[in-house]
Amino acid sequence: MKAEILDIAAAAPAFRELAGRAYRPLAQHSHGWQRLLAEWGGWTWQAVVATDGDGVAALLPFCVRQAEPGRVAMSNPLPASYGGVLHRESVPPAEAYAVTLRALLEYGGEHRLDLITILTSPFRDDLALYEEFLRPDYRLSKFYQYLPGETDLARLPGRRLQGRRTDLARAREIGFSVRSEVSPEPELMTRWYRDILIPRFQEIAAAPPPPLLFPALVRNLAEEQACDFVSLWLDEDLVGGGFALNGWCRDIYARATLSRYMKLRAGVLLDHEMLKRGAARGAHAFNFQSSPSRQDATFKYKQLWGCLEGTTHYLVRVLTDVGKFTQAGREEVAKQFPHFFVLPFEMYD
């Protein structure tokens, strides 16, 4: 197996070739998502492309940003942008990880990178492979909540099965309706972001995803049917909505409802419809993503659906030293490297 570093134009055929042969590919691994990253600006997109006698064997996309403290590479920055090694299902994982990660480390040395970061992808048991071939200096684990794809939506395993049925019946009786579209109109996305998503993120004291992300997401992923926008309505009033990212699993992404409708079980209906549409697409799992903590209300809400837990990891390999980053301080590093995970917060203390 041989590896080379390619830009987005040269790597496009490799992503398309691997799309139907990859092991558990997510929407974040698609060529459309990588195109989104490449056009974002502020960094340089590249990918390790490994080939063998049967064609493309493995891919490892990464983005490099140069700022005042130094040079950092991250595989798939931006919110919920799971990254790491993607490989052909028939290729032994150890071989795929060894070749791509060694090529990335070699690139890092030749191009004077200070740090390399990867947020690993869910539904993979590959931490040992990263430990062996990336040899990270720092690791921060992060849980996510999910339902298996074979879950019976009529008998979800949560603790409130009968209560959920009552909630759904109540929401339908009130008159909530759900719409789904692959290419929502820009006006609808603007309305949803301004009137639904921003207020919800303010309530939970969290920074919302950047507004340009969602038009870019639709522009790049709609052609591959890798995303759809699901919205919740009461007559002609938009009361909730969010994106579903479609790959091996279905990610429930940036979903929110207006607080005043929560007691009317609007969110329960929205989530149920997202699951139902994903099941119709043949999703192998439903990823509800992470919550701030296990004490958080959103975590407990997902538990009521019977969600299980999985773990992803931020892995950081230091090629030089971390001193110039820690001396710059956490706030300055965050400003200089937007959407990048550079170091665990405790490093700055």
User: What is the pLDDT at residue 206?
Assistant: 81
| pLDDT band at residue 334 under the 50/70/90 scheme | very high
Please state the domain count of the chain.
2
Q: Is 322 helix (H, G, I), strand (E, B) or coil?
A: coil
How many alpha carbons lie under 13 Å from residue 78 in its C-beta half-sphere?
Answer: 28
Looking at the fold, whether 165 and 93 belong to one and the same domain comes out as no
User: What is the pLDDT at residue 156?
Assistant: 72
Closest CA to 256 of 243, 237, 247, 246: 243
User: For residue 140, is it within any domain?
Assistant: no
Q: Answer for the pair 315, 341: CB distance below 8 angstroms, yes or no.
A: no
List % helix, strand, coil for the chain (3-state, nearest 5).
40, 30, 30
Q: What is the pTM of this model?
A: 0.93
- What is the domain-level CATH number for residue 206? 3.40.630.30
User: What is the pLDDT at residue 18?
Assistant: 95
Q: Answer for the pair 278, 148: CB distance below 8 angstroms, yes or no.
A: no
Looking at the fold, whether 58 and 153 belong to one and the same domain comes out as no
| pLDDT band at residue 160 under the 50/70/90 scheme | low
Looking at the fold, whether 70 and 158 belong to one and the same domain comes out as no
Between the two ends of the chain, the Cα-to-Cα distance in Å is: 43
Looking at the fold, whether 121 and 221 belong to one and the same domain comes out as no
Looking at the fold, whether 166 and 239 belong to one and the same domain comes out as yes
User: What is the pLDDT at residue 165?
Assistant: 80
DSSP lists the bridge partners of residue 240 as 232, 257
DSSP lists the bridge partners of residue 182 as none
Give the domain range for residue 295: 145-310
The 10s digit of each residue's pLDDT in 19-56 is 889 999 999 999 999 999 999 989 999 999 999 999 99
Looking at the fold, whether 94 and 166 belong to one and the same domain comes out as no
The 10s digit of each residue's pLDDT in 277-299 is 999 999 999 999 888 778 888 88
User: For residue 68, is it within any domain?
Assistant: yes
Looking at the fold, whether 150 and 210 belong to one and the same domain comes out as yes
Report the C-alpha gap between 61 and 297 in whole angstroms.
35
User: What is the pLDDT at residue 42?
Assistant: 93
Q: Could you write out the DSSP letters of every residue in 88-144? A: BTTS-HHHHHHHHHHHHHHHHHHTT-SEEEEEPPSS---HHHHHHHT--SEEEEEEE
